[in-house]
Structure 1
Amino acid sequence: MKLNKEQWSWVFYDWANSGYGIIVTTAVLPIYFKTVAEGSGVTAANATAYWGYANSLGTLLVAILAPFLGALADYQGFKKRLLTGFATVGMVMTLGLALVPAAQWQWLLVIYILSVLGYSGGNLFYDSFLTDVSDDQQMDRISSTGYGFGYLGGVIAFLLFMVLQFTHGFGRLSSLAVARWGFALAAIWWIIFFIPILRNVHQRHSLSVTRAPLRQSWQRVWATVRHLRQHQQLAWFLVAYFCYIDGVDTIFTMATSIGLDIGIDSTTLILVLLVVQLVAFPFSIFYGWLANKTSTRTGILIAIIVYLLICADALFLRSTTDFWVLAVLVGTSQGGIQALSRSYFGRLVPKERSSEFFGFYNILGKFSAVLGPVLVGIVTQMTGQSRIGAASLSILFVIGLVIFWLIPKMTADHAE
Structure 2
Amino acid sequence: MTALAETSEQGPPDYGQSTKRERTGWYFYDWANSAFSATVVAVFLGPYLTAMAKDASGCVNDEATKVDECLSAPINVLGMDLKAGSFYTTVLALAVILNVLTLPIVGAIADRTPHKRRMLGVFAYIGAGATAGMFFVKDGNFMLGGVLTVIATIAFASSVVVYQSFLPQLCKEEDRDRVSSFGWAWGYLGGGLLLVLNLAALTLLEDTYGTGFMARASMASAGIWWGLFTLFPLKWLRDRPPLEGVARGNVLTDGFKQLGHTVKGMRAYPLTLFFLGAYLVYNDGIQTVINVSSIYGTEELGMTTNTLIITILIIQFLAFGGALGMGWLAGRIGAKKTVLISLVIWCAIIFAAYSLPHGEAVPFMALGATIGLVLGGSQALSRSLFSQLIPKGKEGEYFGFYEISDKGTSWMGPLAFTLVFEATRNYRLGVGVVLFFFVLGFLLLLLVPMRRAIIAAGNNPPAKL
Deviation at 1:31, TM superposition (A): 4.2
**Alignment partner of 1:131: what SS?**
helix
Deviation at 1:39, TM superposition (A): 5.7
Listed one character per residue, the Cα deviations across residues 95-123 of structure 1 (whole Å, up to 9, x for unaligned) are 33334674654434333332222222111
Residue 339 of structure 2 corresponds to 300
Moved more, 90-99 or 25-34: 25-34
Deviation at 1:333, TM superposition (A): 0.6
Moved more, 2-11 or 43-52: 43-52
2:232 counterpart of 1:196: yes
Residue 253 of structure 2 corresponds to 215
Listed one character per residue, the Cα deviations across residues 327-362 of structure 1 (whole Å, up to 9, x for unaligned) are 222111111111001111111112311000001111
Listed one character per residue, the Cα deviations across residues 251-300 of structure 1 (whole Å, up to 9, x for unaligned) are 33444455454554443233222211121111111111222223221221
Shift of the 61–258 alpha-carbon distance from structure 1 to 2, 3 Å rule, reads closer
2:373 counterpart of 1:332: yes
In 2, Cα distance between the equivalents of 1:30 and 1:316? Answer: 22
Listed one character per residue, the Cα deviations across residues 127-169 of structure 1 (whole Å, up to 9, x for unaligned) are 1111222221221111111211211211211221232344446
In 2, Cα distance between the equivalents of 1:406 and 1:315? Answer: 29
CA contact (8 A) 1:376 1:393 kept: no
In 1, Cα distance between the equivalents of 2:209 and 2:454? Answer: 57
Q: Give 1:2-401 correspondences, 5 Å limit.
A: 4-34=20-50, 45=73, 46=75, 47-99=84-136, 102=139, 104-168=141-205, 171=208, 174-176=211-213, 178-204=214-240, 206=242, 207-212=244-249, 213-256=251-294, 259=297, 261-262=300-301, 264-314=303-353, 317-318=356-357, 320=360, 321-365=362-406, 368=410, 370-371=412-413, 374=416, 386=428, 390=431, 393-401=434-442
Listed one character per residue, the Cα deviations across residues 56-114 of structure 1 (whole Å, up to 9, x for unaligned) are 33222222111111011102414222211111111222233334674654434333332
**Alignment partner of 2:269: what SS?**
helix
Letter in 2 for 1:267: N
Shift of the 303–69 alpha-carbon distance from structure 1 to 2, 3 Å rule, reads same
Deviation at 1:373, TM superposition (A): 6.4
CA contact (8 A) 2:95 2:153 kept: yes
Letter in 2 for 1:281: F
TM-score, length-scaled by structure 1 = 0.86
Q: List runs of 5+ in structure 2 lacking aligned partners.
A: 6-18, 60-69, 76-83, 456-460
Deviation at 1:413, TM superposition (A): 5.7
How many residue pairs match? The answer is 414
Moved more, 405-414 or 65-74: 405-414
CA contact (8 A) 1:276 1:327 kept: yes
Letter in 2 for 1:355: G
Q: List runs of 5+ in structure 1 lacking aligned partners.
A: none
Moved more, 58-67 or 24-33: 24-33
Letter in 1 for 2:316: Q
- RMSD between superposed Cα atoms in Å: 3.4
Deviation at 1:238, TM superposition (A): 0.9
In 2, Cα distance between the equivalents of 1:246 and 1:255? Answer: 14
CA contact (8 A) 2:284 2:413 kept: yes
Shift of the 315–156 alpha-carbon distance from structure 1 to 2, 3 Å rule, reads closer
**Alignment partner of 2:112: what SS?**
coil
Letter in 2 for 1:224: T
Shift of the 411–182 alpha-carbon distance from structure 1 to 2, 3 Å rule, reads same
Residue 80 of structure 2 corresponds to none
CA contact (8 A) 2:53 2:87 kept: no
Deviation at 1:173, TM superposition (A): 5.9
CA contact (8 A) 2:280 2:405 kept: yes
In 1, Cα distance between the equivalents of 2:144 and 2:347? Answer: 42
**Alignment partner of 1:208: what SS?**
coil
In 1, Cα distance between the equivalents of 2:104 and 2:161? Answer: 10
Name whichever structure is richer in helix by fraction: 1
Percent identity between matched residues is 29
Listed one character per residue, the Cα deviations across residues 4-26 of structure 1 (whole Å, up to 9, x for unaligned) are 11111111111112222222333
In 2, Cα distance between the equivalents of 1:9 and 1:193? Answer: 10
Moved more, 8-17 or 204-213: 204-213
Letter in 2 for 1:278: F
